[in-house]
Homo-oligomer: A and B are copies of this chain.
């Protein structure tokens, strides 16, 4: 065990992101709630830029990190203050929870040293979901936190919002009441299990900033606990808003405990994976009882949302038989196999209301799984996919009857012209519940680059209204991602989500683009790096050709060199033009002159088109010489 323990001395990355400073902003209500964000200080007298921050205490220079102790349980007092929970003894961890680990735990990993022996659940008859509180008209501390966080702690400033949000209702300023209303409608969720008091509340919804998820987790073939905890910390450093632990190998229970106790972001899982491990990988041996026990086990640990593939129904399975890539969802394929083998309707569908009772006792959100999502361009938007979506719509409304939070998972592989239909149908059928897609990938032909093929689709569907984008790494389709892949996936999805915020006209989004571009134009290289999503890489790339410290204030880089740098010449032009404006030379000031010239050009272009058109008619429609005329 000594060896295994010492592994844990290696590498969760701590320390501030280069150029950033952690800040805690008090909620405007004066309640004392402190919301974590970070600020980037700039040179040249420029105001600091505050940005949304998912990295938790790991990037706080003032925090002490001890992954054996876990994070501070900041939400515990809020949860207890509501007076609707009871404490009880957690379920015993069984060998099968960790892949048949014997009592000597050989081949296993150290259990988390500070497991909560006593856990929380709703008092009998109570409902502890944020949606339930919202519908009672209660504004919780979690809602306050979210409001402040989404505003980046800024004051209300009237700002002309430009963009096209396709009918979303993004407010100029987020109030706790707005958060409450969105939760009550089901249009947003705050995923936070009462047994995960370490989490910093966040919202997933179309009218908030677009969020991203990073997937981690081992497989039977690769990776270990230390690497997975490190990946979680690494992924949130770069911007992951939630993390899913998709482990399918050994030590699933212990791995998850280490992750949740140390995670400031919501953690999602797919409970059917662990259930399958418990029956030795034989899908046909799954039962509702084993599944239910797994739900309780994970609920007590503090999982914030469960992917439940209750839409993979027996009648739908044959629809997938004619596909090019069948069923690409692990959970979906497992349930399909079970349904066919037993010739019965999915037990997840049949027991849905029982699952809902568990969700509401711990405030776990549904992530209604897209088990029949298309895994190839050929299968996009097919019958199987939308059949499942309709069932997810039905289940959304069933869950909402119990005030349980719901989000809907989505595709997949979808060519660009078919993306919009997905958003439209989902909004219609699922009552505007938040949409949470995997990409989508807009072509199949680039394994090795699927963070990009999917980033293209993700940016678009995020713009159309998708609330959270599940990342894809360069290793997709090829193998388990390592920490470098995790970072590339996260940054790709952050930029896609931000591009969607910009296009939707989110009032807070463009501040960062403007600050970075201004820094770029003024050759404040360090500021440009520090404002970027990945300051380390930006600086590294710059320094590959110009490493000297003096280059950080040079008015050029190696792309063009000093004579050809357009930004440098631009500055000279601007200085020159403003000197000219001070002279008697009135016309250079004249915006009208420029506008008139442009108008004259436009008319000349139209004239050119008219002349072409007349020439065409004059030649008896023969200017372009139809086929019969050619030699």
Complex Cα–Cα for A568 and B381 (A): 22
A276 touches B563 (CB 8 A): yes
Tell me whether A138 and B283 are in contact in the complex, defined as CB-CB below 8 angstroms, given that A534-B449, A567-B325, A608-B431 are known contacts.
no
Contacting residues of chain A (489-512) with chain B, CB-CB under 8 angstroms = 491-492, 494-496, 498-500, 502-505, 510, 512
Complex Cα–Cα for A479 and B556 (A): 9
Nearest chain B residue, comparing its CB with the CB of A563? B281
Nearest chain B residue, comparing its CB with the CB of A374? B517
Tell me whether A516 and B456 are in contact in the complex, defined as CB-CB below 8 angstroms, given that A502-B415, A566-B329, A595-B383 are known contacts.
no
Nearest chain B residue, comparing its CB with the CB of A180? B630
A541 touches B448 (CB 8 A): yes
A336 touches B573 (CB 8 A): yes
Binding stretch for chain B, among A295-303, A358-366, A387-395: A387-395
**Shortest distance in angstroms between A450's beta carbon and chain B's nearest beta carbon?**
9
A333 touches B573 (CB 8 A): yes
Choose among A316, A476, A630 the residue with the greatest number of B CB atoms under 10 Å from its CB: A630
Is the C-beta of A152 less than 8 angstroms from some C-beta in chain B?
Answer: no
Is the C-beta of A271 less than 8 angstroms from some C-beta in chain B?
Answer: no
Contacting residues of chain A (315-354) with chain B, CB-CB under 8 angstroms = 315-321, 324-330, 332-334, 336-337, 340-341, 343
Is the C-beta of A520 less than 8 angstroms from some C-beta in chain B?
Answer: yes
- Contact partner of A327 (CB less than 8 A), chosen from B135, B222, B573, B585, is B573
Q: Which residues of B contact A449 (CB under 8 A)?
A: 491-492, 495, 533-534, 537
A387 touches B452 (CB 8 A): no
Tell me whether A542 and B478 are in contact in the complex, defined as CB-CB below 8 angstroms, given that A135-B625, A505-B417 are known contacts.
yes
Nearest chain B residue, comparing its CB with the CB of A536? B448
- Contact partner of A564 (CB less than 8 A), chosen from B219, B453, B463, is B219
Binding stretch for chain B, among A6-14, A30-38, A54-62, A586-594: A586-594
Complex Cα–Cα for A625 and B573 (A): 57
Q: Identify whether the interface residues of A are mostly helix, strand, loop, or mixed.
A: helix
B608 touches A491 (CB 8 A): no
Q: Which residues of B contact A451 (CB under 8 A)?
A: 452
Is the C-beta of A475 less than 8 angstroms from some C-beta in chain B?
Answer: yes
Complex Cα–Cα for A571 and B337 (A): 10
* Interface residue tally on A, bucketed by range: 35 or more
B137 touches A337 (CB 8 A): no
A517 touches B324 (CB 8 A): yes
Is the C-beta of A531 less than 8 angstroms from some C-beta in chain B?
Answer: yes
Q: Which residues of B contact A416 (CB under 8 A)?
A: 459-460, 463, 499-500, 502-503
A517 touches B570 (CB 8 A): no
Is the C-beta of A355 less than 8 angstroms from some C-beta in chain B?
Answer: no
Tell me whether A326 and B496 are in contact in the complex, defined as CB-CB below 8 angstroms, given that A538-B478, A559-B480 are known contacts.
no
- Contact partner of A391 (CB less than 8 A), chosen from B401, B516, B595, B601, is B601
Complex Cα–Cα for A366 and B545 (A): 33
Is the C-beta of A375 less than 8 angstroms from some C-beta in chain B?
Answer: yes
A608 touches B387 (CB 8 A): no
- Contact partner of A376 (CB less than 8 A), chosen from B455, B513, B529, B576, is B513
A602 touches B393 (CB 8 A): yes
**Shortest distance in angstroms between A381's beta carbon and chain B's nearest beta carbon?**
10
Is the C-beta of A597 less than 8 angstroms from some C-beta in chain B?
Answer: yes
**Shortest distance in angstroms between A562's beta carbon and chain B's nearest beta carbon?**
7
Nearest chain B residue, comparing its CB with the CB of A313? B597
The 4 closest A-B pairs by CB, nearest first: A397-B608, A393-B605, A326-B570, A387-B598
- List 9 additional A-B contacts (Cβ < 8 Å) besides A330-B560, A383-B598, A393-B605: A138-B631, A184-B625, A185-B624, A391-B601, A393-B602, A415-B499, A444-B520, A449-B492, A476-B559
Q: List 15 A-B contacts (CB under 8 A).
A: A219-B558, A219-B564, A316-B594, A320-B573, A327-B566, A333-B573, A391-B601, A394-B608, A397-B604, A443-B498, A445-B516, A445-B533, A474-B541, A479-B544, A479-B557
